[in-house]
Amino acid sequence: MRKCKNSRNDLVSQRNAELNMRICHPQSPAQCPRPGVAITDAGTITIGGTVVYPPFNYRWMVHISWFGKVHCGGTILSPRHILTAAHCFKNFPINFIKLVMLIKTGKHNVSATEPPLEQNRTIQSVTIHTAFNPITLDNDIAIITLDSPLQFNNHTHPINLPTDTFEDSRRKIKKGLCKVLGWGATDASSLGQMADVLNEVNINLQRKNCTLKLLSDREKVTDNMFCATALNPNKTYGSLRLDSCFGDSGGPLMCRQGDKWYQYGIVSWGPDSCGEQSGVYVKISNYLDWIKSEISTPGGWGNFSGYSPCSVACGGGTKSRVRVCTDPEPIGNGECPGYSFKTAGGNFVQVEDVECNTNACG
């Protein structure tokens, strides 16, 4: 920080200052967050359900473990928050959830321990949308708060959320650039058998009516949901479509825009048999304000800088020091108390002025 020079010798003018901020990166293996950036997108997007390669590529993917087995998926919103489906937790008291469920990141093979970057966290709380209907699965969205924060590293980073309405976003998304991830069932004839390794499937957002045979299913689709499916070019399973399935609940439907991935849906429900009709997903764009409000967490002040030189040599001036709200950074609508201003980059800054060189001149 340096004081702005001025011809007027008043304290108000002397408090004008120029602030330069330098980003310092955390010590390895920790990393600054890179939302929605995969390890690589060098390979072409191929049609058909496959094992994710390279392993850990989609670093925001979360394994919600139930006694060590696949329960649901989720995505990282912040070091403390996981986005998932509400139905993954319906009818379970929080004490039971804390006892039997564990949040794991940096995972590929759920049957193996994957050091050094795998992280396990216990659950502090689960916030289910107040309008969630466990029968129709409307508003099937929930946020998990972790007992301790995640460390962002090469296998753990957050996902981006959309900024536009769903219809505006859908018009921008090119066909073939969306995927669903999960450790759920991969064989329609053996729905109880979950995958050991993370799978991905290319899928398309449906622009017209959902491919659902039963009128009762079609009527169940609300404005908070959308459908997605794709024809399977692999004839191994006959006419089966590409689809999410049992065990994939809570995981992301995400689309690539440039070099970043954005999550547009949460795996919610579908007909009893996978691969024959549409899958139905939570429309995340309808919940952006709710998500931001629920995850909002105050930040903490970093250390003060040293004082700037005094603004004058005599006659009474000011010197200033500054600190930034980065320890930790605020989340959502959170802020640091008593901040002086907010930078264009969104950082909360506090400036402290003290008088100096109060001796008379001459």
Q: What is the pLDDT of residues 121-138, one digit of tens each?
A: 999 999 999 999 999 999
Q: What is the pLDDT of residue 216?
A: 77
Q: What is the pLDDT of residue 230?
A: 65
15-19 long-range Cβ contacts below 8 angstroms, 24+ apart = 15/318, 15/320, 15/353, 17/308, 17/320, 17/351, 19/322, 19/349, 19/351
Q: What is the pLDDT of residue 220?
A: 86
Given pLDDT bands bounded at 50, 70 and 90, which one contains residue 275? low
With a cut of 70, say whether residue 21 has pLDDT above it. no
Neighbours of 106 (CB within 10 A): 23
- Residue 155 bears catalytic tag: no
Q: Are 91 and 238 in contact (CB under 8 A)?
A: no
* pLDDT per residue as tens digits for the range 299-355: 999 999 999 889 888 989 889 999 999 888 899 899 999 999 898 888 899 999 999
Q: How many residues does the chain have?
A: 362
Over residues 270-298, mean pLDDT: 85
Q: What is the pLDDT of residue 46?
A: 36
Question: Out of 249, 268, 278, 285, which one is annotated catalytic?
Answer: 249
With a cut of 70, say whether residue 207 has pLDDT above it. no
- Residue 140 bears catalytic tag: yes
- Residue 249 bears catalytic tag: yes
Query: Hey, which CATH number is domain 55-295, 3.40.50.1820, 2.40.10.10, 3.30.70.1520, 3.40.50.10860?
Result: 2.40.10.10
With a cut of 60, say whether residue 236 has pLDDT above it. no
Neighbours of 231 (CB within 10 A): 10
Over residues 8-34, mean pLDDT: 65
Q: What is the pLDDT of residue 278?
A: 75
Range of weakest confidence among 87-96, 148-157, 167-176, 181-190? 181-190
- How far is Cα of residue 124 from the mean position of the Cα atoms in its chain? 18
Over the chain, what is the mean pLDDT? Answer: 83
Q: What is the pLDDT of residue 84?
A: 97
Question: Out of 71, 78, 129, 140, which one is annotated catalytic?
Answer: 140
Domain 1-21+297-362 is found in CATH 3.40.50.2000: no
Q: Spell out the domain ranges in the chain.
A: 1-21+297-362, 55-295
Question: Out of 87, 108, 129, 157, which one is annotated catalytic?
Answer: 87
206 versus 117: the higher-pLDDT residue is 117
